[in-house]
Structure 1
Amino acid sequence: KRTIEKFENEAAELGKGSFKYAWVLDKLKAERERGITIDIALWKFETPKYYVTVIDAPGHRDLIKN
């Protein structure tokens, strides 16, 4: 809870308050300033019933090859 509050305050300072949850995986300064994912990130955790993997990958047209 405190971590999300910290991210919420930091995001609000940059005028990006709605990005507080994105900052859990977006670690690069450029990602946070621009509000886009630049580098792939992975977060794994387990619940009593499930094993969960969260993947954050770039989707901005300047960062994907297609």
Structure 2
Amino acid sequence: FEKEAAELGKGSFKYAWVLDKLKAERERGITIDIALWKFETPKYYVTVIDAPGHRDFIKNMI
């Protein structure tokens, strides 16, 4: 992810690319479609959700 992000001049977005799969999302640096990633540890079940939004509205989403 790090190399691909850097090639498009979006190096700071490398972690966002884990869930942002669409070409438009990666080029524009925004989330367009919702994405889920589930995994578990010996103690926890974890679901990471990436949804479109703006930083001004994060407090309303949480």
Instruction: Give the structure-1-normalised TM-score.
Output: 0.79
Q: In structure 1, what is the Cα distance between the partners aligned to 2:25 and 2:54?
A: 11
SS, match of residue 62 in structure 1:
helix
Instruction: Give the structure-2-normalised TM-score.
Output: 0.84
Matched-pair identity in %? 97
Consecutive unaligned residues in structure 1, runs of 5 or more: 1-6
Comparing 55-64 with 9-18, greater Cα deviation is found at: 55-64
SS, match of residue 58 in structure 2:
coil
C-alpha contact 1:19 1:35 (8 A) present in aligned 2: yes
Shift of 1:50: 0.5
- Aligned Cα RMSD in Å? 3.1
Corresponding residue pairs, total: 60
Shift of 1:60: 4.2
Q: Specify whether residues 65 and 47 from structure 1 end up closer, same or farther in structure 2 by C-alpha distance, changes over 3 A only.
A: closer
Shift of 1:33: 0.2
Q: Specify whether residues 63 and 26 from structure 1 end up closer, same or farther in structure 2 by C-alpha distance, changes over 3 A only.
A: farther
Consecutive unaligned residues in structure 2, runs of 5 or more: none
List 4+ stretches of structure 1 deviating above 3 A: 60-66
Query: Are positions 1:37 and 2:31 aligned together?
Result: yes
Shift of 1:62: 13
